[in-house]
């Protein structure tokens, strides 16, 4: 069974997200832990979480994915901003323990003229400060498009971060199809080779989630503009090959396409129809 969902608004809590997912035939979902631009998180309501967990069990929702605010920069040149990223993510990870066994995805960061090596060092340092031996959440580095000075558009950079994290068994990777395409990995014509390279450099055992997006731009554009499935340069056929690939088909897939619920529902239906059990 294909595990697929989309990005949902977390403003009404966990149970509301679970119900929305079921409405569009999703069996997982992604959400922001707080306002995507940062700021305070709403308090976790234990009764909401409890009701959600029962609902999720009943409806087969699993492997939900939390996404950190995308403005956090763990490798900023500004110490205050790095500290803000560290405190926000540490707080998010504490909150994630209410729903144990899921993943927390973040954008590694932008090194802003400090160089990619310094960026990698700062990101790993932050992870070493916030990961805890007893945590039950896996933290995912997202593959990035390589816009500006983003770290993580090359598999080697993600590998270097993982190598420097002490509790690296709590770490994994989330592959974003739009981002890797924009980063120059040709998943349309050479999916097998790209996955071989991922396996050689990072290890496919580290891959825990896929962001399923089309791209408004051609291969290697380093732009990061998502398109609806079939309305971009990747195309529906290539994305269907992604969900059906033997190395990937067991993973959870999250749509981050520019859609309202109805559009997501149609994309989920398409991907389910074209999935071979
Ligand atoms: Fe992201
Ligand atoms: Fe993404
Ligand atoms: Zn993106």
* pLDDT digits 0-9 by tens, 101-156: 999 999 999 999 999 999 999 999 999 999 999 999 999 999 999 999 999 999 99
The model's confidence at residue 42, banded by pLDDT at 50, 70 and 90, is: confident
43-80: b (≥16 Cβ within 10 Å) or e: eeeeebbebbbebbeeeebebbbbbbbeebbbbbeeee
Report the separation in Å between the CA atom of 142 and the middle of ligand 2, taken as the mean of its atom positions: 7
Rg of the chain in Å (alpha carbons): 18
Q: Give the pLDDT of residue 251.
A: 98
pLDDT of the residue at 151 = 98
In angstroms, what is the span from residue 57 Cα to ligand 3's centroid? 30
How far away, in angstroms, is 206 Cα from ligand 2 center?
17
Report how far residue 123's alpha carbon sits from residue 108's, in angstroms, rounded to the nearest whole number: 7
pLDDT at 41: 86
Q: What is the mean pLDDT of residues 242-253?
A: 98
Q: How far is the CA of 46 from the centre of ligand 3 (A)?
A: 31
Beta bridge partners of 173: 141, 207
Spatial neighbors of 114 by CB under 8 A, at least 6 apart, are 75, 77, 122
* The predicted structure's pLDDT at residue 150: 98
CA of 142 to the centre of ligand 3 (A): 9
**Ligand 1 centroid vs 141 CA: distance in angstroms?**
9
Whether the pLDDT of residue 37 is over 80: the answer is: no
Spacing, Cα 273 to ligand 1 middle (Å): 26
Going by pLDDT thresholds of 50, 70 and 90, the confidence category of residue 87 is very high
Cα pseudo-dihedral 219, 66, 113, 182, rounded to 10: 0
Average pLDDT over all residues of the chain: 97
> Which domains, from first to last, does the chain contain?
3-273 (3.20.20.150)
pTM of the model: 0.98
pLDDT recorded at residue 40: 83
Ligand 3 centre to CA of 225 (Å) is 6
Token pair recorded at residue 111: 């090194």
Q: Taking the mean position of all CA atoms in its chain, how far away is CA 69?
A: 11
Angle at CA of residue 108, ends 139 and 240, nearest 5°? 75
Query: Which burial class, exposed, middle or buried, applies to 199 when counting CB atoms under 10 A from its CB (0-12, 13-18, 19+)?
Result: middle
Question: Tell me: the pLDDT tens digits for 191-227?
Answer: 999 999 999 999 999 999 999 999 999 999 999 999 9
């Amino acid at each position: 069974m294909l595990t697929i969902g989309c990005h949902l608004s977390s403003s009404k809590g966990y149970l509301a997200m679970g119900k929305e997912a079921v409405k569009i035939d999703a069996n997982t979902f992604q959400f922001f832990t707080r306002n995507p631009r940062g700021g305070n998180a709403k308090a976790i309501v234990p009764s909401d979480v409890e009701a959600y967990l029962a609902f999720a069990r009943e409806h087969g929702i699993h492997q939900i994915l939390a996404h950190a605010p995308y403005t956090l920069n763990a490798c900023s040149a500004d110490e205050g901003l790095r500290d803000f990223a560290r405190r926000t993510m540490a707080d998010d990870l504490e909150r994630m323990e209410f729903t144990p066994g899921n993943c927390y995805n973040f954008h590694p960061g932008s090194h802003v003229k400090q160089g990619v090596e310094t960026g990698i060092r700062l990101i790993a340092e932050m992870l070493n400060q916030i990961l805890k031996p007893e945590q039950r959440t896996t933290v995912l580095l997202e593959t990035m498009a390589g816009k500006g000075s983003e770290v993580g558009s090359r598999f080697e950079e993600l590998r270097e971060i993982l190598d420097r994290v002490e509790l690296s068994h709590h770490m994994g990777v989330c592959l974003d199809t739009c981002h890797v395409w924009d980063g120059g990995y040709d998943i349309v014509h050479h999916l097998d080779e790209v996955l071989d390279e991922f396996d050689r450099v990072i290890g496919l055992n580290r891959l825990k989630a896929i962001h399923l997006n089309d791209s408004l731009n051609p291969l290697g554009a380093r732009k990061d503009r998502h398109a609806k499935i079939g309305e971009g340069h990747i195309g529906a056929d290539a994305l269907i090959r992604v969900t059906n690939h033997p190395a990937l088909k067991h993973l959870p897939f999250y749509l981050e396409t520019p859609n309202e619920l109805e559009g997501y529902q149609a994309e989920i239906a398409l991907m389910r129809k074209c999935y071979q059990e």
